[in-house]
Every structure is written in structure tokens, then in C-alpha cells.
Amino acid sequence: MTKVGVLGAQGRMGAEVCRAVEGAGDMELVAAVDQGDALDALSAAEVVVDFTHPGVVMENLRWCVERGLHAVVGTTGFDPSRLDTVRSWLTGESSGNVLIAPNFGIGAVLMMHFAQKAAPFFESVEIVETHHPHKADAPSGTAYRTAELVAAARAEAGVAPSPDATTSGVEGARGADVDGVRVHAVRMSGAVAHQEVVLGGHGELFTIRHDSMNRESFMPGVLLAVRKVPELERLTVGIEALLGL
């Protein structure tokens, strides 16, 4: 039985993770911690799962790394500089692996993978993500990561930046620029988590779309990560490798 602790246990995702862990025959929920609770209860865990907030996740993760606990992190906000910081913490510790994934949905991971594959074949590519209006960060971690993957694939293939003749307009109208890829964030009541990667050129448009209909959809990926994290590299980003992608 793997002993699992959950950080952000009263949140939308954390509560779902607690239910999933309790329902898994090979796991035991040993700590369910939320804001204001002491972290000490997590010392009983082998793997800590964090779904909290981009503003607090680094502090939580450092606490886990210092104690040699394996960490599975779904909280967003990990740019390259944060990942470098986590790497530097891990080099100073002898045990405990960290897996950080912007999205644990199997379909979402495939959407990112297919977008990366398609990106060099089209002149233009932009990303449109839609989320519930309670979301703290924009663009979403998934959109940010997709843009990074798409940009890297295009750079490797020597593809020029997407054409854009805009010289005047209202600020923000063209979305955020992530590594040269435009990302548009919609916040919409009734939505859960949705993303379209739109690619275009030579008289055709190709849209890769993924919809998370509920938070249960992320649980197979989270449980897979909990099971695999002890045997991974010190730092793994995304669950692609766990799916053989």
C-alpha cells in the first residue's frame, strides 16, 4: 500500500484526489491537509500530491523535497525558472522524486502531443483555452506548456513565426505571447477545462480540441503518477513518458 498525503485537500481537485486515493486498492490516504493546517501530518506519506495555488506551491514542494518525500504536483504556474529552482533543490537531496504535470487528463496530454507533432506543418498556430471563472492563473498551465512544446517543435524544424500584420489595436486583443505562440484565455461560467489548438495554412484549418467535462477525468493520470513517481528521474515534467509518448 502506498501511503499518500494530499495538499489542498479541500479544494476542487484535492477533494477529488482524496476520493480517488481512498478508492484505489493499492493506496492509503494518510493525510489530507489544506490552508492553515500544519504540514507535519504529511510526514507519514510516501507520496504527497499537491493541488493548491501557484502562489504557495513552491513553498510546499520545498518542504517535501527537504524531507525526501516523493511529490506529484498538479498545481500550475511552473515556468522554466521555477523548474530550475526545483532542480537545484533536488541536487542537494539524496531521495524523493518530483513529477510536475500541467494536466493529468489522458486526452489533454494527447492533445498536447498531437499539437507538437502538427506544429511544423502549418504556417500559423494559436491556442485558445477556456476555463471556469474561479481559476486563478491565465493562461492555463496546459496552454502555457502546449505553447512551449509547439514553439520548440517549430524552432527545431526551422519554421518561421506565425504571420501577423497587426500594427495597431486594443491591448490584449492578440492574446499572450508564450515563446512566440499566441495564447487566448477565456473564463466562462459553466466551463470546466477546454482547449483548442488551431493550426492553419495553404487553404486549410486544422483544430485539435480537448474538453475536460469534470475533475474525475484527471484521476487516472494522478493515480498513475502516484504509482510511478518512486521509479522516475528526480524531476519529471508531464506524464507523457508514463504513457509511452
Catalytic residues: 131, 135
Assign 109 to helix, strand or coil: helix
Give the single-character DSSP code of 102.
Answer: S
Per-residue binding letters, 166-205, with ligand LZUJQKHR (x by CB under 6 A): ---------------------------x------------
Q: What is the DSSP string of 115-183?
A: HHHHGGG-SEEEEEEEE-TT--SSS-HHHHHHHHHHHHHHHHHTPPPPP----S--TTTT-EEETTEEE
Residues 6+ apart with CB under 8 A from 30: 3, 4, 5, 41, 44, 45
Shorter beta-carbon distance to ligand LZUJQKHR: residue 60 or 142? 142
Report what 131 binds from ligand LZUJQKHR, ligand NAI, none; CB cut-off 5-8 Å by kind.
ligand LZUJQKHR
Q: 179 exposed, middle or buried (CB, 10 Å; 0-12, 13-18, 19+)? A: middle
Shorter beta-carbon distance to ligand LZUJQKHR: residue 56 or 90? 56
Task: For the CB of residue 174, give the shortest distance to ligand NAI in the complex, in Å.
Answer: 24
Shorter beta-carbon distance to ligand NAI: residue 35 or 207? 35
Query: Terminus-to-terminus CA distance in the chain, angstroms?
Result: 28
Residue 131 found at the interface with ligand LZUJQKHR (CB under 6 A): yes
Which residue minimizes CB distance to ligand NAI? Answer: 11
Task: For the CB of residue 201, give the shortest distance to ligand LZUJQKHR in the complex, in Å.
Answer: 27
Q: According to the annotation, is 166 in a ligand binding site?
A: no
Q: Backbone phi, then psi, for 208, in 5-degree steps?
A: -110, 120
- Binding region for ligand LZUJQKHR (CB under 6 A) out of 20-28, 59-67, 133-141, 169-177: 133-141
Q: According to the annotation, is 74 in a ligand binding site?
A: yes
Residues that bind ligand NAI (CB under 6 A): 7-8, 10-14, 33-35, 51-54, 56, 74-76, 101-104, 141, 218
ω into 139 cis (within 30 of 0) = yes
Assign 208 to helix, strand or coil: strand
User: Residue 183, Cβ neighbours under 10 Å: how many?
Assistant: 23
Task: For the CB of residue 219, give the shortest distance to ligand LZUJQKHR in the complex, in Å.
Answer: 13
**Cα gap 34→7, rounded to integer Å:** 6
- Binding region for ligand LZUJQKHR (CB under 6 A) out of 32-40, 88-96, 120-128, 139-147: 139-147
Q: Which residues bind ligand LZUJQKHR (CB under 6 A)?
A: 76, 102-103, 131, 135, 140-142, 193
Please state the residue numbers annotated as binding site: 8-13, 34, 74-76, 101-104, 132, 141-142
